[in-house]
Amino acid sequence: MVALALVAGGTAGYLWYTGAIGGQTAAKATGGRNVVVVHLHDLQGKVSSVLLVNDAGGNKASVLLLPDNLQLPSTGDSATTAMSDALTNLGSAPTRDALATLLGAPVSGTWRLDTPYLQLLVAQLGGLTMDTNAQLTGPDGKVLVDKGSRRMLTGQAAVAYATYQAPGESRDAQLARFGAVLAAVVKAMPTALSDATDDVHKMGAVLDPSLPEQALAGLLAQLAGRAGAGRLTTSELPVRTDGTVDEAKAAPLVKDVLGSTVHTAAATAGPARVSIQDATGTAGGTDSPAVAAQAQVVNAGLTFVPGGGKVAAQPSSEIHYSDDTRADAARSLATTLGLPATAVKKVTDAQTTDLVLVVGKDYQAPKPQQ
């Protein structure tokens, strides 16, 4: 099932995506970008997720692949939930909220579509023309997907390719294939709203109430226009093996695709988003200084975002910010943690969170109350 989200109804949904009514706050906050999350569900229950980004300000569109092991902040029993389990463990709306918290950009909603409906949509579009990196055979033993450039895929072939993971391959390989199929669907969609609406209607899927036909059709038509102009790109969010976001690699990508998250109205209006890097040189664990610092961050009313991980040990703790509107939050956090004012430092490098707390050897965890 593929899931992609919007918050509008009928023609109003389309106007929301063009920025004509409502929803403008989120778009303005991210430089005219609208972001939706897409979840592909195969018949075995395996889920693959990407973000579709319509950037009106930059006149471009993006497919951002979200690895299975990406850890999302959770409000449940566990502090985090893997991307692959998010819909089951959190639900659609909380998954969008978790992605927004993690990446700092509003995620507008969710489009859900079982793979049979993906097959119907591709068939309605007359098939897809795309590059493939694997040859697949059908149940009858005949070639279903031919390997090479500019191959023609039927609906059945598109689903098979989007869900294919060869023996020994990582899930990222299958995710990349899904991203390629989704990009090909976008390119194949008509740019006229009436035609796009007709294709979505004939697909016959039971859409989520938050995603009426014209809203989905309007989004896909706009993306198709950008794709036709060669303005559609696909990239993967850099994630470490433990599921945390690779800050150094992800920051410039997130800034380019989603907008500068620390400069948006949405980001500066709420509590600061804080990631923590462990530079204590200790083994870690539930009683580590970094975990104690995390508790203090949450107790201070700030939003903890997983993804910092361990870094090279350093003697002094630091709090990094890049947006002047978050300077006060950085200084307040320093006071909360018992750090000197000199620990607060403005940086020029892009960050995926408002504040980055680097917990050094000088950090003293608060003593338990007797």
Q: Going by DSSP bridges, is the β-strand pair 344-346/148-153 parallel, antiparallel, or unpaired?
A: unpaired
134-163 residue pLDDT tens = 999 988 999 999 999 999 999 999 999 999
β-pairing, 232-236 vs 60-66, is parallel
Tokens of 186: 């976008």
CA dist list (Å): 308 to 162, 239, 279, 348: 31, 11, 10, 18
User: Rounded mean pLDDT of 297-310?
Assistant: 86
CA 168 to the chain's CA centroid: 26
The pLDDT of residue 236 is 97
216-230, 299-313, 327-341: least confidently modelled range: 299-313
Q: What's residue 369's pLDDT?
A: 57
User: Is the pLDDT score of 291 beyond 60?
Assistant: yes
60-72 pLDDT per residue, tens: 999 999 999 998 8
- Least confident range from 18-27, 200-209, 267-276: namely 18-27
The 10 Å CB-count burial string (b at 16+, else e) for 236-258 is: bbbbbeebbbebeebbebbbbbb
SS3 call for 282: coil
- Beta-bridge mates of residue 29: none
Find the Cα–Cα–Cα–Cα dihedral 333, 335, 336, 342, rounded to 10°. Answer: 60
Nearest to 290 by CA among 241, 230, 361, 231: 361
Check pLDDT > 50 for residue 27: no
Residue 266 predicted with pLDDT over 50: no
The answer to whether residue 244 scores a pLDDT higher than 90 is: no
Is the Cα dihedral 23, 217, 231, 228 positive or negative?
negative
- Range in 92-106, 193-207, 281-295 with the lowest mean pLDDT: 281-295
Residue 7 has pLDDT above 60, yes or no: no
Domains along the chain with CATH numbers: 4-236 (3.40.630.190), 270-359 (3.30.70.2390)
Residue 23 scores a pLDDT above 70: no
Q: For the segment 173-185, what is each residue's pLDDT rounded down to a tens digit?
A: 999 999 999 999 9
Cβ atoms of residues 334 and 243 within 8 Å: no
pTM above 0.85, yes or no: no
Tokens of 210: 């938050």
